[in-house]
Structure 1
Amino acid sequence: MGLRENAAAAAGRTLDTDELLDELEAERSTPAPDPMADYEPGDGDPEMVPVHIAWLRVRKEVRAIAKGEQYNGGGTRFNFRGVDTVVNTFGPVTLKHGINVFPVDVDATYRDTTTSKGNKMRECTVTVSWMVMGPKGDTLPALLKSQGEALDSADKGTAKAQSVALRVLLLNGGLTPTHDRDPDADRHERGADPIRPAVSYVDEVCDPRTSTGRLRQIHHELKTTRQLGALVTNEVGEEEPIGDLVVRLGKERAAGGAE
């Protein structure tokens, strides 16, 4: 019973319907008390600023993360910024400024694959929705999303992929530069594409499943690279110019209704 109803009851009367509705509406429209209103930061606690200000302070302090790690395997070498490096950089700074990052939704897909050496692996790709919360408990107006993928031979693929997604979130959301040399500072002339040798077409040309349309395309490729006269071993083990082989088999398949 509200104050007006108590007063009315003490006076020996009741509130009419309109007065009751007004009372309920007034109670509903009263804002909930701010739980942080009387909070005073202690020693080492972050300053109570809005989340976007706290995140800006994180960015100002992190500044840049260089690509200080190197992958060198399978004939490939490149520099990168690893998950541990990024988290170790952002972790203490977000703690200092009262920023919390929470995964609130994870959408994962999986597929089986193999490495170049034939080892069986499980590939996981995730899309993670993140909530970024500031020291006052307020959050950025929209959930942030990032993706990550990872290969693993056991049961760690999902955890690895989510770690990669976190790295992507921190680097992209923090607009974190590398301070590396600008790739546009160097200019390289693109070389000509290597010419596919005539002999590499033979198996496809002799395959009865190859359509006449594909044979016409092969003939055009060979003509463009001036290889129509190149001698190859045909389907019966005899030498024949590949251009003649393509035309002959194309006519045979067209006559037989193969498309």
Structure 2
Amino acid sequence: MTTLAERAAAAAGRSDTPAPAEEHALATPLDAAPAPDPMAAYEPGEGDPDMVPVHLAWLRVRKDVRAIAKGEIYNGGSTRFNFRGVDTVVNTFGPITLRHGINVLPVQVDATYRDTTTSKGNKMRECTVRVSWLIVGPKGDTLPPLQTQGEALDSADKGTAKAQSVALRVLLLTGGLTPTHDADPDTSYVERGEAPVRSAVSYRDEILEQGTSRQRLAQINYEIKQAGLFAANVVNEVGDEEQLGAFLFRIGQERIAGGAA
């Protein structure tokens, strides 16, 4: 049933019925102006980072970091290697990311656990985490989400924190493409075919050379064990007899201490 006003409108060829909500929505101009940038009017103060896109800010971080050497040594008896520790990596990236307005945020952590034991029978808890990270630039824009994994063992309640720290180190080193600038240990010594057997004295002389790198000393440690020379007696730099393996370890520790000083 229609009203008198509606019949009059129909006779005049028009309609007073309100248009559906969908029609009003379609009537909105397609070229409407986008929402204003909340950082558009921001003016950096003294010491604030430049308002550049996140990919440029991250590139500046990489330029300032340049490289992180494997300056730390793990010595677990028969296992010995150089590495870049979590604290070293974070201490390097932390001030630089702050200077360029970069935030590195964990946005999701997925962890799995299992009970295990050491070779000596001690009970341990193993934690493996997958962490999703967001790298935020000074303007609030972000890089695509990144994922890294970390694994750690602990006898108490620190396994999760350790595993997340490892995941952070992996993110910074891989996401920053951070080189070591160390010589490749595989290029230090190449054994081809029937290589002549070296004497304990020749190893002693090479160990004493100041130009022998830490990587080469680690390789010598492996070689003298393979050759059965680890316990061979040699005359050290002060004229006393000393086992080659102990001599190598002592000289290596002195070089490390000298470098730290």
Larger radius of gyration, structure 1 or 2?
Answer: 1
Structure 2 unaligned residues grouped into runs of 5+: 1-15, 195-261
Q: 1:229-253: CA deviations, max 9, x gaps?
A: xxxxxxxxxxxxxxxxxxxxxxxxx
Out of 75-84 and 91-100, give the one that drifted further: 75-84
Q: In percent, how many aligned pairs have the same letter? A: 76
Q: 1:118-150: CA deviations, max 9, x gaps?
A: 11000001111100110000001x211111100
Query: What amino acid sits opposite 1:20 in the alignment?
Result: H
Q: Normalising by the residue count of structure 2, what TM-score does the alignment of the two structures yield?
A: 0.63
Q: Which residue of 1 aligns with 2:113?
A: 110
Q: Over aligned residues, Cα RMSD in angstroms?
A: 2.3
The Cα of 1:31 is off from its aligned counterpart by: 1.4
Select 2:25's aligned residue among 2, 21, 27.
Answer: 21
The Cα of 1:190 is off from its aligned counterpart by: 9.2
Q: Which residue of 2 aligns with 1:152?
A: 154
Q: Pairwise mapping of residues 100-179 of structure 1 onto structure 2 (< 5 A)?
A: 100-140=103-143, 142-179=144-181
Which runs of structure 1 show a deviation greater than 4 angstroms over 4 or more consecutive aligned residues? Answer: 13-19
The Cα of 1:116 is off from its aligned counterpart by: 1.4
Q: Pairwise mapping of residues 1-259 of structure 1 onto structure 2 (< 5 A)?
A: 16=19, 20-23=24-27, 25-26=28-29, 29-140=32-143, 142-185=144-187, 186-188=189-191
Secondary structure at the counterpart of residue 168 of structure 2: helix
Secondary structure at the counterpart of residue 78 of structure 1: strand
Q: Distance in 2 between matches of 1:59 and 1:167?
A: 14
Q: Distance in 2 between matches of 1:33 and 1:98?
A: 22
Q: Distance in 2 between matches of 1:156 and 1:174?
A: 27
Out of 78-87 and 65-74, give the one that drifted further: 65-74
Matched residue pairs, number? 177
Secondary structure at the counterpart of residue 160 of structure 1: helix
